[in-house]
Structure 1
């Protein structure tokens, strides 16, 4: 019973600590070319919170690479999304990584994609996930590479297609976690 109470308290404190990110994120397009990074920090706080709620701790060797991986993935998909709005963003004076990266976007996305996959690999290794997890990571890396290499950043509909395709990237990772856990 005491352990459950401790987990609830820790989860509530961790959840409440995300409020600064939640409140500040909508303003970031006015102040920085990196609002996608703030979105990643905000969205992926759930990795920390979920782990703490289920495990009752924050194993930094598992949750920190997982968190960083999620932030990097968000930078990939939300930068692709931001390319849909870059002309409008310029008109109204808001900022984004799409505007910041410009013609170098694919190079930046490649770096963030590699960092995301590296974080997932490290987190999976530290969580002692079985070999199927890494096979799924290989498939996920192919999907992410396909997105980055084939996206036409000047075509709104293609950016939207690639952005939406991230549901499959997430599903592949989820499948890998399940398969890796069942095999270990």
Structure 2
């Protein structure tokens, strides 16, 4: 299950937390039950995926040269894997820059569509700065540096989740939400 290397679980789980937090009512925290449910699911799904991957790739894994460390482009070429590292070659930073711009743009659009507030956009700006720093400083020829940058994406996910939660807490409740809450309080008092 690779519980000793939880980055895969984090990267599977964090986008789920974003959706759960975005779905919360204005001024409210995300649903803790849903966060727990999806967290459990991320652990189980990643564990299952790692197990199946290990079963299918056992012949490839025998050819791995970094002694259990991060794979690199030589490993991909050795086993005939058609990875993006080999496809992008020396243009990797340009491709990553394009993906980062697309991500920040999509996050901005999602924020606009969900009526997000200043903390959300501050988090999106921090995510953009983090991604720019990653891309600028990564040494695409050092597998260890690439792995370090990859694992730091947990920070990106946590920053965005925090921004969504804080942004949602700063949202004004709509009239419908206020009326629904008032009706619920009224029912509790009469019941």
TM-score range, shorter chain: 0.5 to 0.7
Structure 1 partner of 2:129: 142
Secondary structure, aligned partner of 1:152:
coil
Is the aligned partner of 1:102 residue 2:89? yes
TM-score by length of 1: 0.56
1-structure distance, mates of 2:146, 2:123: 24
2-structure distance, mates of 1:102, 1:157: 17
Q: Quote the offset at 1:108 in angstroms.
A: 0.4
1:10-89 equivalent positions in 2, closer than 5 A: 84-89=71-76
Structure 2 partner of 1:67: none
Give CA deviations for 1:25-46 in whole Å, capped at 9, x if unaligned.
Answer: xxxxxxxxxxxxxxxxxx69x7
2-structure distance, mates of 1:94, 1:104: 18
Which runs of 5 or more structure 1 residues have no equivalent in the other structure? Answer: 1-42, 56-82
Q: Quote the offset at 1:123 in angstroms.
A: 0.4
Q: Quote the offset at 1:85 in angstroms.
A: 2.3
Higher normalized helix content (fraction of residues) = 1
Give CA deviations for 1:102-142 in whole Å, capped at 9, x if unaligned.
Answer: 00000000000000011011001101111111011111111
Q: 4+ runs of 1 displaced by more than 2 Å?
A: none
Q: Quote the offset at 1:165 in angstroms.
A: 0.5
- Which is bigger in relative contact order (C-alpha 8 A, separation at least 6)? 2
**Match among 89, 98, 105 for residue 118 of structure 1:** 105
Structure 1 partner of 2:145: 158
Q: CA RMSD in A?
A: 2.5
Q: Which has the larger radius of gyration?
A: 2
Give the paired residue count. 112
2-structure distance, mates of 1:154, 1:97: 14
Is the aligned partner of 1:172 residue 2:159? yes
Q: Quote the offset at 1:179 in angstroms.
A: 1.1
**Match among 89, 94, 115 for residue 128 of structure 1:** 115
Give CA deviations for 1:20-74 in whole Å, capped at 9, x if unaligned.
Answer: xxxxxxxxxxxxxxxxxxxxxxx69x75xx66xx68xxxxxxxxxxxxxxxxxxx
Structure 1 partner of 2:78: 91
Contact between 1:84 and 1:159, CA under 8 Å: does it hold in 2?
A: no
